Structure 1
Amino acid sequence: MPGTEPLTELDPRYSEQEATAENWREAVARLTAAEIFWLTTVRPDGRPHVTPLLAVWHDGGLHFCTGPEERKARNLRENREVVLTTGTNTLKEGCDLVVEGEAVTVRDDDRLRALADAYTDKYGKEWTFEVRDGAFLGDGGRALVFRVEPRTAFGFAKEPYGQTRWRFAPGRV
């Protein structure tokens, strides 16, 4: 993981007394292992749009893909600010994670090939993509690939309850 560690803070307003700040490297391990993420984008009229999707952590950022005419891709043409969330649907175990940042289109074929391999490694051969003309090509057609480098991230621990905030300076991931 390039760069230095983020500024890490435990927010005592939302944490039990015995809670400690979550470790960013452990959060990265959770992001790497998570299978489902929820992506929040903003529609041109300002309304939120939330959808589940697959994502891979690679080289200090989360990456996802979508067809160029899907709602999330159309939203990103107007506003690249996004939130990706993952975690557990349980009350007393696990750690939910929230990553905020800007979704930047990945067009470099070498980077896209590395990401295509990461998808196959993580999700299996049914998630194999060709790389052509700065995008993924798969059974569903052409897919744009986006990278979200965390600007701010949050970890919501359970048992004990604790809220950790990680803040990143540009290029610190």
Structure 2
Amino acid sequence: MTHHPVRTDLDARYSDKNASATPWEEAADAFARAELYWLSTIRPGGGVHVTPLLAVWRDGTLHFCTGETEQKYRNLAANAEVALTTGTNVLAEGLDLVLNGTAVRVRDESRLRALAADWEAKYGPEWHFDVTDGAFEAGHGPTPVFEVRPVTAYAFAKGPFGHTRYSF
């Protein structure tokens, strides 16, 4: 398992006076439990591309997959910097999260098999993937898998409001 040393800081400028930093373990657990994420990538011309997707938590970070013909795949070929977000979409409760980092393609087949099992366990049998030639395969061509190597992350707690920054 990959362990990232994490520095945790509460930003008092954006936090209630009674707020405390959200522990990284709590944020990591919330990242792992979420069902839907939003991936932000940068188009080769500089525009932002945002799309919802599924992801799984393994080895201390999020993993996602995308087809080779999709816009996000083309964006990653030009710029591997990404943001993955998830949260509650509720103003007064819950935890919203942002993970900023670099998307790195996973090619190791034993690791891909473990990730495929994670996908199916989390999302059900309709998300079954075979592993072939360093990618997922589900009957419509190779689906590369990416690990997000974290640089920074943020947790936005609500009730009380707290803004926590994690540096890796």
TM-fit CA distance, 1:4: 5.6
TM-fit CA distance, 1:71: 0.1
| CA distance in 2: counterparts of 1:24 and 1:55, whole angstroms | 19
Residue matched to 1:171: none
| CA distance in 2: counterparts of 1:5 and 1:79, whole angstroms | 25
2:5 maps to 1:17: no
RMSD: 1.1
- Number of residue pairs aligned between Structure 1 and Structure 2: 168
The residue type equivalent to 2:17 in the other structure is: Q
| CA distance in 1: counterparts of 2:61 and 2:79, whole angstroms | 19
| CA distance in 2: counterparts of 1:21 and 1:46, whole angstroms | 34
TM-fit CA distance, 1:141: 3.2
| CA distance in 2: counterparts of 1:103 and 1:4, whole angstroms | 15
The residue type equivalent to 2:143 in the other structure is: A
Deviation beyond 4 Å, 4+ runs, structure 1: none
TM-fit CA distance, 1:67: 0.3
Residue matched to 1:83: 83
Residue matched to 1:148: 148
Residue matched to 1:161: 161
Is there any run of 5+ residues in structure 2 with no aligned partner, and where? Answer: none
Q: Is the 8 A contact 1:40 1:84 kept in 2?
A: yes
Provide closer, same or farther for how the CA distance between residues 4 and 46 of structure 1 changes in structure 2, counting only shifts above 3 A.
closer
The Cα offsets for residues 104-156 of structure 1, whole Å up to 9 and x where unpaired, read as: 00011001000000000100111000000000001443201000021100000
Is there any run of 5+ residues in structure 1 with no aligned partner, and where? Answer: 169-173
- Give the structure-2-normalised TM-score: 0.97
Residue matched to 1:29: 29
- Give the structure-1-normalised TM-score: 0.94
Q: Percent identity over the alignment?
A: 57
TM-fit CA distance, 1:2: 4.1
| CA distance in 2: counterparts of 1:6 and 1:66, whole angstroms | 28
TM-fit CA distance, 1:61: 1.4
